Every structure is written in structure tokens, then in C-alpha cells.
Amino acid sequence: MRTLVGAALIALVLTQPAVVVQGEEQFRPNGLVVLMTDYGTDSIYMGIIKGAIYSKFMGARIDSITNDVPPFDIVAGAYLLVEAAGEYPKGTVFVTIVDPGVGTERKSIVVESKNGYCFVGPDNGLMTLAAEKFGIKQVRELTNKQLWRAETTSTVFHGRDIYGPVGASLASGVPVEEAGPALQTITKLDLKRSAVANGAASGTVMRTDPYGNIVSNITSADLQSLGIALGDSVNVSLGASQWTAPFKRTYAEVPEGERLVVVQSSGFVEFAINKGSLADAIKEGFGAKVTVSKAK
């Protein structure tokens, strides 16, 4: 999987608008610095990066989307970021770090989005989906060391040394333009979307959750185009398992312990067991292939 991801890295040329497009929002910092990393929920790295942020901007309000992104997994991180970021108010700075290439030639960037967010982190594709969803207003390479941590810069912890402090600087009101020179491109992952063909929708598992629910990248629109309506039976093939389950509004509409198909809160198709863990039951997770069709 990781090899495939590496191979899928492609650079897209972005057209920089000469003037602010109508309807775009200015980034005006609201003080929030919101982390999403693979540092581990409560690891020492979290304690360190938060200290580095406060040291740069004592007024920072630090919070997190999650720091439990699977280690090194840029694709998983890209999905998690785009699912959560949009809930935050305009003016939020996101510090997003899944960075297996730390210390190599990959760039460090900030993306200001068209809806008034900033995303700070390595330019390795992690921001692919967020950039698509929110639009790119400008990209800057993080070369201005005055916004970095005051002390020496390590080769292995750019969260502490660069991303945290730059995020804090932006949250404190430093203009995005001061982060460094403009870039015309960001690195994007070539992520597959779901597809509908021959009476079936196919996709992949984007994530599981602590209940054991399994979320795919198949959309509610895909179900609609297959003529699958609430109450219909759905044939599911997921990884090595196949089953048929009803399409329901919510979990408790099937008896405890039974399977269902549901549209989750971001509009994606989710597979679940009422009050049980489907992920444990079928031992499948991130990256597994999924196909759904209407049962006859």
C-alpha cells in the first residue's frame, strides 16, 4: 500500500489568481491551532509540539482533530483531514503532519484555502483532499526561519521545529505571505474515487471507527444511482467477506447484533453491526475493496 502511495505522488500545476476571486474569504486567524498527526494520541511528541506552539504564541488555543493517524499513512491522513476540517470555524490554522520523509528534500508548506483556513505541514500529498474541497488561494514554502522554533532545527522532528511554530505564528497574526515565497504547485495523491458500473458501486475502505463500523468512499449518490432506497436489501462484498444487509437510516433499526448499511454523517456508505463491531467480526479495515449492489 505504501509503495503504491509513493508511486502515486504527482505534482499538479495550480493557477494562482492574480486577484482575490469573488466569494473567497480572507484568512483571519481565530487563535485556534488544530493538530492532525501520526504522533500517537498521548505520546511525548504531542507534549513537545504543544510546548513549541505555546512558546511561539502564548495565546494559541491548541486542539486536535486526531493524532492517531496510522503511522506513516499519508492516504489515511488525507481522508481524516478532509472529513473533520470543514467543521471548524474560518480562521483556523491546521497543523497536519504525517511525514515519513522528514528531513529529506520534500518541501514544507502552508496552504491558505479559499474559505479562510491555513494548512501547515509537509508537501507530500496529505493536504490533497482538503485542498480540493476548500480550494487553494495561495501556497507558500516555509523558508522564513524567524517563524520557526528559536533553537536548532533537527532532521527528524519538523513538527516541533517548523510546523508547530509556523502554525502558531500564523495564528498570532503573522501574514501568510511572510512564511516564505509563493509556490505554484502542491503535491497531490492520485486517490481513487468510487465508481458505478454494471449495477454495482465499487470503492475502498477509508477508515474504521472505535465501534468497529467500516466507512467506505462509496457515496449516498452512488446508492441512489443504483436505485437502492431505504429498506432495500444490499449485497456487500468487502475484502474477503460477502453478505446481504438492509439499507437503514440508523443502527437501532435492525436488531442488536445484526448488520446494516447506513449513510454516515459525511455522506459516505458505512457498514455496521447494531451494538457490535463489524471490523472485529470480519477482520477488515483501511484499504479493503468494497462493492455494493441491490439485492434481488
Site for a copy of itself in 111-170 (CB under 8 A): 154-157, 160-161
Q: Which of 27, 29, 33, 65 binds a copy of itself (CB under 8 A)?
A: 65
DSSP letters spanning 150-206: SSPPPSS-HIIIIIHHHHHHHHTT--GGGGS-B-SEEEEE-PPPPEEETTEEEEEEE
Q: How many whole angstroms separate alpha carbon 26 and alpha carbon 268?
A: 30
Stretch that binds a copy of itself, among 67-75, 112-120, 129-137, 282-290 (CB under 8 A): 67-75
Size of the site for a copy of itself (CB under 8 A): 71
| Backbone Cα Rg of the chain | 21
| Binding residues among 72-111 for a copy of itself as defined by CB under 8 A | 72, 80, 83-89, 92, 100-104
- Across-strand partners of 285? none
CA gap 87, 108 in Å, rounded: 25
Does residue 280 bind a copy of itself (CB under 8 A)? no
Of residues 242-261, which lie at the interface with a copy of itself (CB under 8 A)? 249-253, 256
Please tell me whether residue 36 binds a copy of itself under the rule CB under 8 A: yes
- Cα(51)–Cα(67) distance, rounded to whole angstroms? 16
User: Are residues 167 and 95 in contact, defined by beta-carbon separation less than 8 angstroms?
Assistant: yes
Q: Which residue from 27, 29, 33, 50 is in contact with a copy of itself, where contact means CB under 8 A?
A: 50
DSSP per residue, 207-267: EE-TT--EEEEEEHHHHHHTT--TT-EEEEEETTEEEEEEB-SSGGGS-TT-EEEEE-TTS
Decide whether 14 or 266 has the Cβ nearer to a copy of itself: 266
14, 55, 107, 258: residue in contact with a copy of itself (rule CB under 8 A) = 55
Nearer to a copy of itself, 122 or 180 (CB): 122
Pairing of strands 32-37, 93-97: parallel
Which residues in the 175-204 window bind a copy of itself by CB under 8 A?
Answer: none
We find the least distance from the C-beta atom of residue 238 to a copy of itself, in angstroms, to be 19
Please tell me what DSSP assigns to residue 49: H
Nearer residue to a copy of itself within complex by CB, 104 or 242: 104
Among 45, 107, 135, 232, the residue binding a copy of itself under the rule CB under 8 A is 45
> Least CB distance from residue 138 to a copy of itself, whole Å?
23
173 touches a copy of itself by CB under 8 A = no
Nearest-approach distance from CB 160 to a copy of itself, in angstroms: 6
Q: Write phi, then psi, for 208 (nearest 5 degrees).
A: -110, 175
Strand-pairing partners, residue 247, are 261
Site for a copy of itself in 208-227 (CB under 8 A): 209-211
